[in-house]
Amino acid sequence: MKNLLGLLKSFQEIQGAIARIQDDLKKETAQISSGGGLVKVIVNGNQEIVKVEIAPELINMKDKSLLEDLILSAVNEARKKAQEIAQEKVKEVTGGVDIGLT
């Protein structure tokens, strides 16, 4: 019974740490650009796109396929960066041990 209580306490501590990590990740952001800065994407550590900026000169070009490619590129890079942020945050909390949360 004592072991079970200790296990439950450990589980609650882990849940608290995960909740803190998730809150911290919402606050972490990264800006990624493509096309020499024509398209910018800001992403948070939870892999949520929080902002997309498109330069007016790109819109004026009326090149739909170029715009789509640049947005796709920026979003994919932003997603990778968000994963890196999450991995770093987890390692900070776990003392460098990867516990598979990301």
CATH number at residue 19: 3.30.1310.10
- Is residue 72 one of the residues assigned to a domain? yes
Q: What is the pLDDT along the chain (102 residues), one digit of tens a residue?
A: 667 777 677 778 878 878 888 888 888 899 999 999 999 999 988 888 999 999 998 888 888 899 999 999 999 999 999 999 888 888 877 776 665 555
What pLDDT sits at residue 17? 79
Residue 53 belongs to some domain of the structure = yes
Instruction: Say how many C-beta atoms besides its own lie within 10 A of residue 101's C-beta.
Output: 16
What is the domain count for the chain?
1
Within-domain flag for 31: yes
CA angle at 14 for the pair 22 and 94, rounded to the nearest 5°: 75
100, part of any domain:
no
Side by side, the strands of the sheet bearing 49-54 are 29-34, 39-44, 49-54
Range of the domain at 62: 2-94
Residue 76 lies in a domain: yes
Whether 41 is covered by a domain: the verdict is: yes
Query: Whole-angstrom Cα distance, residue 50 to residue 59?
Result: 20
pLDDT at 23: 84
Is residue 102 assigned to a domain? no
Question: Is there a domain that residue 70 lies in?
Answer: yes
pTM of the model: 0.70
Kindly give, in sequence order, each residue whose CB lies less than 8 Å from that of residue 21, ignoring residues fewer than 6 positions away.
Answer: 86, 89, 90, 93, 101
Contact 53, 89 (CB under 8 A): no
pLDDT at 99 (0 to 100): 58
Location of structure tokens 């991995």: 87
